[in-house]
C-alpha cells in the first residue's frame, strides 16, 4: 500500500491550486483514491494559497495534511517555513529557487532547487513555472505518471485549452530534466 | 459513467439536478457559494430555475412556496445562514412539505469563522426552529457520499413529506474527490396529490400552518410524532469501521469521522483495538449500531465542543462510558491529536 | 325570479371572522370577483399572511397557502416559478408587508415577479390587538404608542406604494380605498388591472387598499370610514403610482 501526501504552496496566481488539481486528477486517472483540499478564505486573493493532495491505494482518511507529507512544492518565500516543516522524514521538497532564497537545513529530507520562473520565461510563458515544478516532482517522486497529468490537462482547464498541452508537456520535461542531475 | 474530480459544493449541485431538482433558492455565504454559483449556470440548461434570494429568510420561504407547488426544491447555506432559515424550516415541517436544505457548516457562534466546523449539530439535529419536530439529518463523510445523500434526501423528503438537512461542512464543500452520479431511487414515493396547482374543476388545496384550535394543533403534533417514530424505525444509517474486534470505539461523523479513520489506521498498526461507529443519519440517530456491542469506552470525536455526546450516552445507555475530544472554531482535527487522545483514554490496555 | 346579485364563486361559504366595519370582506369579494370574471378561479393560488387575514385561505375558493409573517412575496415567488402559468397572489396587511416583510416585498417587486399583491393598510396591528404599525399615522394612538405616535421617538410612517413605484420591476401600482361605492368600484378596477399585468406577463402588480380597523381604532364602522377619508387618505393619497401599460410610461 502506498500513499502520497503532497502539499503545494505559493502566492495566489502562481497556479498552486491548479497544479494540485492536475496531480489529483492524474492520480484518479491512474486508478488511485485521491483528494484535493485547498486553503480557502480571504487569503486566496493575492495572498498565500496552498492545497493538500492525497493519492493512495486506500480510501483517503484525512484530506488535510498537517504533518508527514511525502512531498512539498514550495513556490514562494512566505510558504517556506510551514511547508518545509510539514514534510515527513524521507520526504521530498521541490523549491522554486527563483523566489525562495533559503536552503533546506534538514538532513532527513531530499530537497531540489528549481529556478522555475526563469525556466518558464525561457519557454516563453511565465505561467508555466508551476508545471515545471510539477515535472520536477514527478521525476523524483513517481506520485502519478506524466501521461496521466497530460490526460488530466483538459479535464482541469477545459477542452478549449487542449492547444496548450504540447507546451505544458515541454514544461514537465524541463522540470524533470533539471532535477534528474540533482538526484 | 466515468468518475470526475469535483468540488463537494459543485458535486452537490449536480447531484440535485440528477435527482430531478429544478428549483434552487439561495443566498451567498462562504464556504458554500460554489453551490449556488454552479446551479445558477447549470439549472437553466435543464429548464430549471435559480433565484438568488434577497436573504436566507426569503430563500427558505421561496422553497416553502416551491415545495407547496409540488416541486423538488433546494436551498443551501452555511451556519449563520442556516440559523436565519430556521423560521422557514419550521413552517415547511409543520406544513408536511418536502424540501432539502444543505448546511456546509463553519465555526460559530454568530458570524464565527469561515473555516469548517460541526457546531450546528444541535441546531439541525435537535431542531433550531420552534415547536416539537425533527428533520431528517444526513451527514456525508466524503464528496461521493454527499452526492449519494443529496439524491436520497430528495426521496426521503418526498417519502415522509418532511425537510431533510444535509449536514456537512466547509471542508467537504471545498475539497475535490472523484465522484460518479447514479440516481437510483430505493423508495416508493407517494403522489403529490396535495400540491398547489390551481384547483381546476376539482377541490381546492390548502397548505396550512395555523391551527387556531389547540386540540387541532395537538392532533397535528401527534401525527408528526407518528412520522418520527416511523423514521426512527426505518431510516437509521451508519457505517462501522474496524469494529469486529474493537474494545474501544470512536463515534464521529462527517469530516471528523474520516480524520478519525486515519487515526484508527495508525492506532491499529500499534496494536490498539479501536474502531469507529460513524452515524450517517444524525436524526434518526443510529441507536441500533450500539446494541450488543461490548465496548469499554466510546470516544466521541467532533469539530465542536461535544454537541453529539448526549446522543452517544443515550445510545450506549451509559453516561460514564462516553468520553469526548474535539476542536472547534474552524480548527480541523488532526489524526495525530486524535491518536494522542485515544492513547490517553486507553492507556496500556492494548 | 331574476337574480340581481350573486356571491362570487371565488368565495366559500365559510363565515368571515372579521369585525363589523372591517374592509377585509369587501376586498376579499373584489379579488374573488375579479378572478372569477377573468375565468381564473381554477388557475389561482394565493399566499395569505400572518395577521387578520391569516385564515383567508378558508374564505377564498381557490388554492391557498399560509405564509410566514411577511414572507408571502417569497413564498409566492417559489410558487410562481414552479407554475408560471398560474395566477399567484399575495394578500398582506401593513404589519406583515410594511414591517417584518419589507425586505421580501421590495425584492419581489424589484425582481418584477409576475405576481399580484393586495396590501391592506389600516395603520394598525389588528390581530395582535392594536399595536403601532409602520403605517400608523403621526399622533395616532396604538397600544404600543398610547399617547399617539410621536415621530421623534417612533419615526414616520411608510408610504409603500410611492416607495415601490421608484423601482423598475413593478408593472402596476395603485392606491385605492373602499369607503364609498365609487371607491369600491375603483378598487375593483385597480385589482383587475394588477391581475391583468400578471396574466400578460408584464411584471409585478400591487394594489394598496387604505382600509379600516374600527375595533382597534376605537371607532364605530361609520366613524372609521370618516377617519379614512379625513385622516388616512390625506397621508396616503389615492391614485396610480405606476402603470407601464400607459403610453409615455
C105: domain CATH number is 3.40.50.970
Residue B177 scores a pLDDT above 70: yes
The confidence score (pLDDT) of residue A12 equals: 85
Residues of C in contact with B51 (CB under 8 A): 77, 81, 111
**Taking residues A42-48, what's their average pLDDT?**
64
pLDDT above 60 (res A123)? yes
Contacts of C among chains (3+ CB pairs under 8 A): B
Residue A34's DSSP bridge partners are A55
Asked if B174 lies within 8 A of A64 by C-beta distance, the reply is no
By the CB < 8 Å criterion, does B178 face chain A?
yes
Q: Which residues lie below 8 Å from residue A131, measured CB to CB, with a gap of 6+?
A: A15, A19, A22, A168, A171, A172, A175
B273-317 pLDDT per residue, tens: 999 999 999 999 999 999 999 999 999 999 999 999 999 999 999
C2 φ, ψ to 5°?
A: -95, 140
The helix (run of H) or strand (run of E) holding residue B142 is none
Is it the case that residue A45 has pLDDT exceeding 70? no
Query: What is the maximum span of chain B, computed from C-alpha positions, in angstroms?
Result: 76
Closest residue of C to B199, CA-based?
C42
Mutate to test the interface with C, among B67, B68, B75, B200 (most CBs of C within 10 A): B68
- Which residue of B lies nearest to C55 if distances are taken between CA atoms? B210
**Cβ distance of B198 and C107 shorter than 8 Å:** no
Could you check whether the bond before residue B284 is cis, i.e. omega within 30 degrees of 0? yes
Residue of A63, A66, A155 to mutate when probing chain B, most B C-beta within 10 A: A63
Report the C-alpha gap between A51 and B175 in whole angstroms: 9
Mutate to test the interface with B, among A5, A38, A57, A61 (most CBs of B within 10 A): A61
Write the residue in B23, B201, B207 that is nearest to C82 by C-beta: B23
pLDDT value of residue A181: 81
The answer to whether the CB atoms of A35 and B175 lie below 8 A apart is yes
- Give me the pLDDT at residue A44, please: 53
| pLDDT score, position A142 | 83
Closest-CA distance, B260 to chain A, in angstroms, reads 8
Please give the domain boundaries of chain B with CATH numbers for all domains: 4-234 (3.40.50.970), 239-346 (3.40.50.920)
Q: Does C15 fall in a domain? A: no
Q: CB-based contact (8 Å) between B20 and chain C?
A: no
Question: Tell me: the pLDDT tens digits for B99-149?
Answer: 999 999 999 999 999 999 999 999 999 999 999 999 999 999 999 999 999
Q: In what order do the strands lie in the sheet with C170-177?
A: B206-207, C63-66, C44-48, C87-93, C116-121, C204-210, C170-177, C239-243
One-character DSSP codes across chain A:
--EEEEEEEEETTSSHHHHHHHHHHHHHHTT-EEEEEE--SGGGTTSEEEEEEEEESS--S--S-SS-EEEEEE-SGGGHHHHHHTEEEEEEEEEETTT-------SSSEEEEE-HHHHHHHHT-GGGHHHHHHHHHHHHH-SS-HHHHHHHHHHHH-GGGGGGHHHHHHHHHHHHHHHHTT-
Which of B66, B198, B210 to mutate against chain C (most C CBs within 10 Å)?
B198
Does the residue C133 lie in any domain? yes
Residues of B in contact with A24 (CB under 8 A): 5, 176
CB-based contact B104:B62 (threshold 8 Å):
no
- Indicate whether C128 belongs to any domain: yes
Question: Which residue in the set B3, B5, B259 is minimally distant from A62, CB to CB?
Answer: B259
Number of domains in chain C: 1
Give the per-residue pLDDT at A46.
Answer: 62
Average pLDDT over residues B230-254: 98
Q: What is the pLDDT of residue B324?
A: 98
CB pairs under 8 A between A and B: 67
Query: Is pLDDT of B152 > 60?
Result: yes
Average pLDDT taken over every residue of chain B: 97
Domain for residue C225, yes or no? yes
Asked whether A88 and A68 are in contact (CB, 8 A), the reply is yes
What domains are there in chain A, each with its CATH number? 3-180 (3.40.920.10)
CB contact under 8 A, C74 and B73: no
Binary contact (C62, B199; C-beta < 8 A): yes
Q: Residue C11: inside a domain, yes or no?
A: no
Q: Are C127 and C51 in contact (CB under 8 A)?
A: yes
- Give the C-alpha separation, C73 to C89, whole Å: 8
Confidence class of residue B240 from pLDDT cuts 50, 70 and 90? very high
Interface contact C65, partner B, CB < 8 A: yes
Q: What are the pLDDT digits (tens) for B4-33? A: 999 999 999 999 999 999 999 999 999 999
Residue A43: per-residue pLDDT: 54
> Mean pLDDT over residues B145-154, rounded?
98
Residue span of the structural domain in which C170 resides = 24-243
Distance CA A102, CA B128 (A): 52
Integer-rounded Cα Rg, in Å, for chain B is: 20
Q: In what order do the strands lie in the sheet with B99-105?
A: B49-52, B23-26, B73-77, B99-105, B163-169, B136-138, B281-283
Domain-embedded: residue C82: yes
Q: Is the pLDDT of residue B181 over 80?
A: yes
Is C118 part of any domain? yes
- Please check whether residue C163 lies inside any domain of the structure: yes
With an 8 Å CB cutoff and a minimum of 3 pairs, decide whether chains C and A touch: no
Percent of chain A past pLDDT 90, that is, above it, reads: 87
The answer to whether chain B touches chain C by having 3 or more C-beta pairs less than 8 angstroms apart is: yes
pLDDT band, very low/low/confident/very high, at A42 (cuts 50, 70, 90): low
In chain C, which residues have pLDDT < 70? 247-249
Amino acid at each position: 500500500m502506498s500513499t502520497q501526501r503532497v502539499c503545494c504552496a505559493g502566492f495566489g496566481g502562481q497556479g498552486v491550486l491548479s497544479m494540485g488539481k492536475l496531480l489529483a486528477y492524474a492520480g484518479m486517472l491512474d486508478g488511485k483514491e485521491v483528494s484535493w483540499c485547498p486553503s480557502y478564505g480571504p487569503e486566496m486573493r493575492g495572498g498565500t494559497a496552498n492545497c493538500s493532495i492525497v493519492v493512495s491505494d486506500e480510501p483517503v482518511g484525512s484530506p488535510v495534511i498537517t504533518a508527514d507529507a511525502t512531498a512539498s512544492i514550495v513556490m514562494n518565500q512566505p510558504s517556506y517555513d510551514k511547508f518545509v516543516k510539514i514534510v515527513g522524514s524521507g520526504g521530498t521538497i521541490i523549491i522554486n529557487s527563483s523566489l525562495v532564497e533559503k536552503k533546506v537545513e534538514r538532513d532527513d529530507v531530499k530537497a531540489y532547487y528549481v529556478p522555475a520562473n526563469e525556466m518558464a520565461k525561457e519557454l516563453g510563458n511565465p505561467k508555466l513555472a508551476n508545471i515545471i515544478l510539477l515535472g520536477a516532482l514527478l521525476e523524483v517522486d513517481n506520485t502519478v505518471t506524466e501521461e496521466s497529468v497530460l490526460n488530466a490537462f483538459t479535464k482541469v482547464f477545459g477542452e478549449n485549452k487542449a492547444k496548450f498541452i504540447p507546451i505544458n508537456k515541454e514544461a514537465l520535461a524541463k522540470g524533470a530534466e533539471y532535477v534528474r542531475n540533482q538526484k | 459513467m466515468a468518475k470526475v474530480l469535483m468540488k463537494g459544493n459543485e458535486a452537490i449541485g449536480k447531484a440535485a439536478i440528477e435527482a430531478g431538482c429544478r428549483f434552487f433558492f439561495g443566498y451567498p455565504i462562504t464556504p458554500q457559494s460554489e453551490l449556488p454559483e454552479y446551479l445558477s449556470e447549470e439549472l437553466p440548461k435543464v429548464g430549471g430555475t435559480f433565484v438568488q434570494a434577497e436573504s436566507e429568510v426569503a430563500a427558505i420561504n421561496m422553497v416553502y412556496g416551491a415545495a407547496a407547488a409540488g416541486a423538488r426544491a433546494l436551498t443551501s447555506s452555511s451556519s449563520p445562514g442556516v440559523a436565519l432559515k430556521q423560521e422557514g424550516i419550521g413552517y415547511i415541517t409543520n406544513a408536511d412539505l418536502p424540501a432539502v436544505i444543505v448546511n456546509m457548516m463553519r465555526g460559530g457562534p454568530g458570524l464565527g469563522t469561515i473555516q469548517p466546523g460541526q457546531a450546528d449539530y444541535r441546531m439541525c439535529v435537535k431542531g433550531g426552529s420552534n415547536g416539537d419536530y425533527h428533520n431528517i439529518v444526513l451527514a456525508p463523510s466524503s464528496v461521493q457520499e454527499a452526492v449519494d445523500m443529496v439524491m436520497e434526501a430528495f426521496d426521503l423528503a418526498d417519502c415522509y413529506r418532511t425537510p431533510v438537512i444535509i449536514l456537512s461542512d466547509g471542508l467537504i464543500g471545498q475539497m475535490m474527490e472523484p465522484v460518479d452520479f447514479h440516481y437510483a431511487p430505493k423508495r416508493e414515493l407517494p403522489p403529490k396529490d396535495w400540491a398547489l396547482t390551481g384547483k381546476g374543476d376539482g377541490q381546492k388545496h390548502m397548505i396550512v400552518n395555523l391551527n387556531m384550535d389547540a386540540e387541532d394543533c395537538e392532533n397535528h403534533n401527534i401525527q408528526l410524532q407518528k412520522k418520527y417514530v416511523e423514521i426512527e424505525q426505518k431510516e437509521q444509517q451508519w457505517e462501522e469501521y474496524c469494529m469486529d474486534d474493537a474494545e474501544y470505539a470512536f463515534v464521529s461523523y462527517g469530516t471528523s469521522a474520516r480524520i478519525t479513520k486515519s487515526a484508527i489506521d495508525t492506532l491499529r498498526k500499534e496494536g490498539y483495538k479501536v474502531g469507529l461507529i460513524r452515524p450517517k443519519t444524525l436524526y434518526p440517530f443510529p441507536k441500533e449500531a450500539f446494541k450488543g456491542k461490548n465496548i469499554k469506552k466510546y470516544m466521541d470525536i467532533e469539530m465542536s465542543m461535544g454537541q453529539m455526546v448526549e446522543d452517544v450516552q443515550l445510545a450506549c445507555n451509559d453516561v460514564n462510558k462516553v468520553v469526548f475530544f474535539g476542536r472547534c472554531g474552524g480548527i480541523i482535527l488532526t489524526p495525530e491529536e486524535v491518536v494522542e487522545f485515544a492513547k490517553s483514554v486507553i492507556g496500556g490496555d492494548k | 325570479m331574476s337574480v340581481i346579485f350573486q356571491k362570487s364563486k371565488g368565495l366559500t361559504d365559510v363565515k368571515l371572522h372579521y369585525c363589523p366595519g372591517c374592509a377585509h370582506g369587501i376586498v376579499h369579494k373584489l379579488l374573488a370577483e375579479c378572478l372569477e370574471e377573468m375565468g381564473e378561479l381554477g388557475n389561482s393560488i394565493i399566499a395569505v399572511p400572518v395577521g387578520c387575514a391569516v385564515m383567508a385561505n378558508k374564505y377564498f375558493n381557490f388554492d391557498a397557502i399560509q405564509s410566514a409573517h411577511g414572507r408571502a412575496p417569497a413564498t409566492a415567488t417559489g410558487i410562481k416559478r414552479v407554475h408560471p402559468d398560474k395566477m399567484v397572489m399575495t394578500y398582506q396587511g401593513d404589519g406583515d408587508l410594511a414591517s417584518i416583510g419589507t425586505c421580501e416585498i421590495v425584492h419581489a417587486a424589484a425582481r418584477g415577479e409576475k405576481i399580484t399583491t393586495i396590501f391592506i393598510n389600516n395603520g394598525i396591528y389588528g390581530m395582535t390587538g392594536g399595536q403601532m404599525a409602520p403605517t400608523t399615522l403621526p399622533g395616532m394612538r396604538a397600544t404600543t404608542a398610547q399617547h399617539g405616535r410621536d415621530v421623534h421617538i417612533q419615526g414616520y410612517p411608510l408610504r409603500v406604494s410611492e416607495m415601490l413605484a421608484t423601482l423598475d420591476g413593478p408593472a402596476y401600482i395603485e392606491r385605492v380605498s373602499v369607503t364609498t361605492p365609487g371607491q369600491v368600484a375603483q378598487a375593483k378596477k385597480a385589482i383587475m388591472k394588477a391581475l391583468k399585468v400578471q396574466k400578460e406577463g408584464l411584471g409585478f402588480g400591487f394594489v394598496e387598499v387604505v382600509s379600516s380597523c374600527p375595533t382597534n381604532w376605537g371607532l364605530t364602522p361609520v366613524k372609521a370610514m370618516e377617519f379614512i377619508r379625513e385622516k388616512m387618505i390625506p397621508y396616503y393619497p389615492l391614485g396610480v403610482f405606476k402603470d407601464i401599460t400607459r403610453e409615455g410610461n
